[in-house]
Structure 1
Amino acid sequence: MTRRVMHPPAPADGRRAAAGSRNRRLAVIVAAVVAVPVLAYAVPAVVLAGETARGTRVAGIDIGGLSAADARARLERELGKRETRPVTLTAAGRTARLTPAKLGLGFDIPATVEAAMEGASTPAGIVRALFGGPRDLQPRVTVDDRVLAGELGKLAKAVDTRPRQGGVRYQGVEPQTVLPKPGRALDQEGAGRAVRDAFIGNRASIALTTRAVQPSVSAAEVRRVATTVARSAVAAPFTLTSGAKKVQLSPSQIAAGLRFVADGQGGLRPSFDARDVRADVEKQLVDAKQRPRDASFTIAKGRPQVIPARVGRGIDAKALGTAVSGALAAGQRSVDAPLTETQPRVTTAEAKKFGIKEKVSSFTTRHPCCAPRVTNIHRIADILDGYVVQPGETFSLNTIVGKRDKARGFVEAPMILNNRFVNDVGGGVSQFATTMFNAVFFGGFQDVQHMAHQYYITRYPAGRESTVSYPQPDFRWRNDSPYGVLVKTSYTATSITVDFWSTKRYDIESQSSPRYDIKPFPTLSETGPKCIPMPGAEGFTIDVWRIFKRDGKVLRKQKFHTVYAPEPRLTCKDPR
């Protein structure tokens, strides 16, 4: 008989109780595992809240572990020094020392601290806070672009050079090339970036770059114009017409005023300056009764009297220059001279207010009769007789008289050039300049430019004389009085006189030192058809004082220091 053993089933409540116990044990384990890192993060986060991480540096300044307020205070103190520390900007050999603040640069401290505090409460930030580790930050920078551009613009003015466009001018009637040359410009945009980077990097000097600025005209074009167009322009006279009247400009007159300049399109164009020929052209093309007339003066019974001015017809130098330039560009050799209504330089009303009432200075120099140089002295005296120098005007002999040439009655005569006497058209007019210089000296007017002769000439007062040539050296003086100055000239066969009429301001005296630093003259001999003998004279130095007095009281003194070279004794030998 088979026996089967049967086990009774487990109760349902017991099974549920066992499962619940296992789940509780698992939850406790999981909670413990999670709680460890949470507590590891939460506790430091609470403790370190509001502080920068250890090892945090801004531009080398340690702000690690500081509160936002303390970090800000430290950065303001340290970075603030850099805002007022000058930096040196260098470009093309030019330098400027400026503070960053002057350049419109500064530090944004609040934004810098905010950037340093970002991420401080993240796990990575907590790790840095707990265990350190470097963290280098760049400071936030503010830039006033307008101020920075303005300061760089000032530096650019000292650095930049315009390109030389090149052109053609003349020596006599021979074309001379002026070859183009690049210019230079500061790279202002790049300079702005360099300055900002240097400020952030705390560099004390900054080398700025420049770029080449190329001329618009090539050297090849300049050479082409010089060898073709420029030669053709002075190959023949140029005719100016006005009705039935004609006048010709000689090749030398054309060359004296003609230049070929950049046309802005890569080529050269003719540009004629008609100022030197205007007066002569006007006299030949316009009747004297039609030309404008300045108010002038006549001396009657020892007193100046006004001769009224007159509006007339004349030639405008600018319009004439434009007309001649256009004709030459078109290959033409004649043009109608432009006439226009022309106002006098000095009106009647102005002349009456000039205060020209008495002779304030006069000077005479003497010379041997009848030499060619006397013709030139008389010619320049005629040109300047009656000229009125207005209050504040600077008188320039070369500007008013212009180049001395045969067309206006000047002749060849000896002058000093390169240590020798040579013949030149207009030679001898320095005697007029010397005579006028002494009228300026004793009239108490301002000396602007005068140059003594290289060698002492016995007919002139030592240390009180002036040479002149064209275009340099010039003789210039300024009417620094509130009155007009009337220039009157007169001459004989052996003398030239310059009188100044105005309102007297000073009594002028002249005092001279003894001659000193005496140098003997050498003795030389030369051969050749152009050799001109020289008598020889010692060189020396002399000082002259101009003493300004009024009512017997000395107001001031002015010193003129003059050094004369020894003039060689030159004998001209017959080469045979």
Structure 2
Amino acid sequence: MAAPRSRILLFVAVPVMILLMPLSIYFVDSAAASDKVARNVTIAGVDVARQTEQEAIASVDEYATVLTADPASVEVNGKTYELDPEDVGLTFDSASAVNEALGLRKEGIGDWLSAFTEEVDVPLVATLDRELVLVQLAEWEVDAIPNPAFEGSIEIANSVVTHEYPRAGDTIARDASYDLLLAALESGSEETVNLPIITSDPELTDADIDAGVERANMIIKRGVVLTNDEYGFEFHVNSATLGRALEARIVHGDSPSIDFSVDSSIIAPLVEVVRDGLEIDPVDARWEIVLVDDFEDLPDQYEIKDSPQEDMEGLPEDDTIELVPGLNGTTVNAADISAAVGVAALGSGKGELPIDKDAEPEFTTEMAQSFGELYELAEFTTWTPGTNRVHNIHLMADFVDESTVMPGEEFSVNETVGRRTLDKGFKYDCAIVGGELSCETDPVNVGGGVSQFGTTIFNAIYFSCLKDVSHQPHSIYFRKYPEGREATLGYPLPDVVFENDTQAPVIIRTSYTDRTITVTFFGNTGGITCGTEREDRTGFRSAVVLYRADEEGVVAPGEEFVENEGSGGWSIVNWRIFYDIEGNEIDREKFSWTYRGERNVILMHPCEEMVGGDGECPLGVPLVAGMDEATAKATLEAAGFVVAVAPVSTSVEAEGGVVLSQDPVDFRDPGTTITITVGVWDGTPATTTTTTTTTTTAPP
């Protein structure tokens, strides 16, 4: 019984296997070729079966390359031309054709089976550039047709505009010729394409040409101006230049038109002429300040009474500060400017000047804005008497003006100005030297008087609530300065130094008139302001007496001369008071100083021990002029001097034997020889002079 059952199973299995085998082959083959073109599929006759997308595109492109390199033969009105497919922009859409081929015969086993017996060819779509075709047709018309239709012309040479009007004639049929050329080129046909000729009227009119001429003249006359408001740049093209650069042509197309353009080769050289003016380095953001001679009600503030701004109009009531944005560095491109000129010429004659903003400044607008709004912190004014000292003070102000102190930085007057020298323009004037006022022309007096600038800037620091790092008041009090709230300057010391302990920059501005100096600080202290209080004087003391040798030989031994009576000294305290934005006191800072006053200077003869002498002082030489010789000798010898007689002849009898002069006459050591000059009468008799007086009487 087993054998018959096996035989039955075999009879059933074999037919089933025969039926399943094609299905198995289909599934295996389809899976293996899922990303490939099916069998028996071509594109424009090119076999792409069993190729991937990229392989198929490569195969079709190879075929298309052959076609684009194969010129076509074209006949126009009996004349034959060879047309290069590239001249009319022949292109093939290989990708779309391959994409269509990839989708064929993928719909089941029926499609798969038909691929073994039926071929499918996918068309390869080609296109021509219509504008290029129309240009080519226009060229053939001019060459092959004796009486072609003419759309007119406009010619421009050195600002002179000439023209020709349109006229009717024969023309190549545009649409039909386009289709004929496309069919020939996409198929690679070797047959000559005969283009149809038709009679045609021009589409442009005489009025169109006249309007074109009028427009050309208007463009030339107007010229071009390109501007960039951000940088204040301008680029001009005058009429003469534009008249050389402007071009006009008739565009032959489906709708002929008059096209104007500007020759960039004429414009580009102009850019090179002005390039240096258009290409600038980056410009940092900055604050623009307007200073006015106003009055700030601060203690010891001097009111400006000789302001040159008094009659000026349009000034603000108070000092102002405004942020001026930074500017990137610029470069220009001749091609870009030429293109902009072309656009402006065909438009309104005006346009935007194209510039490239390549490099950012070191201090950008965003950096400046991050500090918040800056405002006036304080200003202080003092009165400036004198001439040379005023010149020196003004020079100091010029050195310091517009200094910017960033947060955390220190500012030093001496580091900013340097040593005061004649080469820098400073002049001699009085200065305190060794604790005393000196008005000599010594090197130490160059720049004399600049301590007034030190006092003025110190008070601006004081009332701006900025950190005082270093300052030193004068040893002698001057009434023109705020008592105890002032500063002297020397080099390298004393100095005036402050630290910007705020979160914003501090900008120092200076200004002056013939009689005043003003220092103004701008910044942002977060609303904190400062005032001041001064205590009464304490610790009074008398002037210090200073004995000094008389170098001029005026003071006799044993005598004294008061050169300077001097003045007393005292101690003084000023309190700087800090207020918050609401006006509440939040802190106090003490500034103490002791004035020693001017010394009481007494001059003595250099021989005196009080001024460094040995105590052995010279004797006063007696004056013997007018005495007889014997008396004079006795007087001088009695005083301890040796006498030498120098006789001199005289014609005056009364001078005989009399001392006419002596040398020396001041103070001398004992034993010094004193020479007396004694007259010797030469015997000349005295002369009597008679005077005759004539009286004249006026007539009645």
* Band the TM-score falls in, shorter-chain normalisation: 0.3 to 0.5
Structure possessing the higher relative contact order (Cα contacts under 8 Å, 6 or more residues apart) = 1
Q: Under a length normalisation based on structure 2, what TM-score does the superposition of the two structures give? A: 0.33
Instruction: Find the structure with the greater CA-based Rg.
Output: 2
TM-score (norm 1): 0.40
